[in-house]
Chains A and B, each alone.
Chain A
């Protein structure tokens, strides 16, 4: 099958959607499909030499405290059109088609089987409520919609119309399950460790709650260590620590993919004390794949991934005392940790890319059935095609418009 994947975010900037597209493409290629990727990037040279096409750069626009990237215009449209023409795809798969980016451009220009995945990494409800009706005419062209979680599906149903099939994010289970650990931090040997991963400055990640809970944990387990990995300003964390806690907390900084896996393989308990809407919680699956028992707050997404507490301990979000008790109990009970770890391994297996890609492929095969023809690019510019009088696409539009023009110009 010839498959075209569209990633609307810059390839050389780390991000969930980029990794998702990269891993999906690799997995599908390994099963013998021809996969091409179209993506923007800061530098064209940073793209892999083969099967990835550069779509230009995105323009960063500050939105709601973070940066939204926008890429829209005739030059991008021309690149999209050329990619579609040269690709001869059986199906085109767009990721996050809602923002004004090449994803939306592909929806406007392509005709044929289009699949779209809605990631909804962040909720921008107000923005989507206003923008949804505007882009609806083009989203209507999507044949098969996929949402990565129930949360993403709800966002999509509420604001963009239509329904979606839920296919979760994938994880390379083997990459997390086997490999080295961090030096001097072997699980079960070098004193109990609790892991936290994420941009720790963001209050919604819940680090302050975890630090609060650590005080009680340290009283019960004097050797306990909290390992914090991720981007952020170290001074902000040091400001939250007092002298009692400081020797029990280590900042590891931002980790590479390999180091992240090693980190998850090293910790005795992984803790996700998030306070607010996480769409999916892929890190929990990675932790489970690495065999780490999990204590997480009871967000919907986390409860789904942890099978309502069967595969990890759920605590009320924001409750430091309950979190401390859960962490302390788990550190004191190696057998329970082993049980959770075994359940976690089983749960994570269902999210392995080989399983997930098979389900995505089912969607492709459903929409591209019966040789409904390959995906092509519309001949006209989308802006012009929108006005049938100009493109002449509509039987009654063109003559009427000419008549009107003559009448107006008389």
Chain B
């Protein structure tokens, strides 16, 4: 074979590689934006829950009870500015406090109760969608060729966000019918 043919073959391979890399970079860029957006949504909902919990403990101490209100206020503060730096831990503590509130919260305004419930549902959904985006990113980044070509290698891998939430409710096939299958 003449050197020209060799050159052509190499060029074709190089071209394919460039096209493939560019396409993969597009995908990675898209995924990065999706992870960012999903995180913003999740973060907003978590902040909102903390704000609602703070409002509940501040303005409706009677409905919650003195001691519980103090605990709720503390966990809400911690969730907004996690001192130990572990957001998941702080959010879990707040979630636990909120779940242990008396059922139906007699004494608290209906609007606040509905808000709290709605936020809990949204957190479940937002967390699912965020982790979904993270999972897609991981799958693409850890494939052989992208990691060999060091595509996006300098950027940190996004982390999963794992907290205990009302996920059971979100995944159940119907409200009330969501018992775990034996």
Contact = CB atoms under 8 A, between A and B. Distances in A.
Interface of A: 137, 140-141, 143-145, 149-150, 161-163, 165-166, 168, 300, 303-305, 307-308, 347, 350-351, 355, 362-363, 365-367, 369-370, 372, 386-389, 393-394, 396-397, 400-401, 404, 407-408
B125 interface: yes
B142 interface: no
Nearest to A139: B136
A372 B37 contact: yes
Shortest Cβ-Cβ A-B pairs, 4 listed: A397-B22, A350-B174, A388-B22, A394-B22
Contacts of B22: 387-389, 394, 396-397
B122 A365 contact: yes
A163 to B, nearest CB: 5
A57 B128 CA distance: 36
Nearest to B23: A386
Given A149-B173, A165-B125, A366-B41, A388 B132 contact: no
Interface residues of B, number: 45
Given A388-B23, A397-B22, 12 more contacts: A137-B27, A140-B34, A143-B129, A163-B128, A303-B181, A347-B174, A350-B174, A350-B175, A355-B175, A366-B129, A387-B23, A407-B11
B37 A143 contact: yes
Interface in B155-182: 170-177, 179, 181-182
Interface stretch (B12-20, B71-79, B88-96): B12-20
B136 A140 contact: yes
Interface string B28-44: 00110010011011001
B114 interface: no
Interface of B: 8, 11, 14-15, 18-19, 22-23, 25-27, 30-31, 34, 37-38, 40-41, 44-45, 118, 121-122, 125-126, 128-129, 131-133, 135-136, 139-140, 170-177, 179, 181-182
Contact of A369 (B14, B23, B44, B177): B44
B41 to A, nearest CB: 5
Given A166-B172, A355-B175, A161 B139 contact: yes
Contacts of A141: 30, 34
A362 B19 contact: no
A145 B37 contact: no
Contacts of A386: 23
8 contacts: A141-B34, A143-B34, A351-B174, A366-B129, A386-B23, A388-B19, A388-B26, A408-B8
A165 B11 contact: no
Nearest to B125: A366
Nearest to A405: B15
Given A145-B132, A307-B177, A386-B23, A366 B126 contact: yes
Given A144-B125, A165-B170, A389 B38 contact: no
Nearest to B24: A137
Contacts of A388: 19, 22-23, 25-26
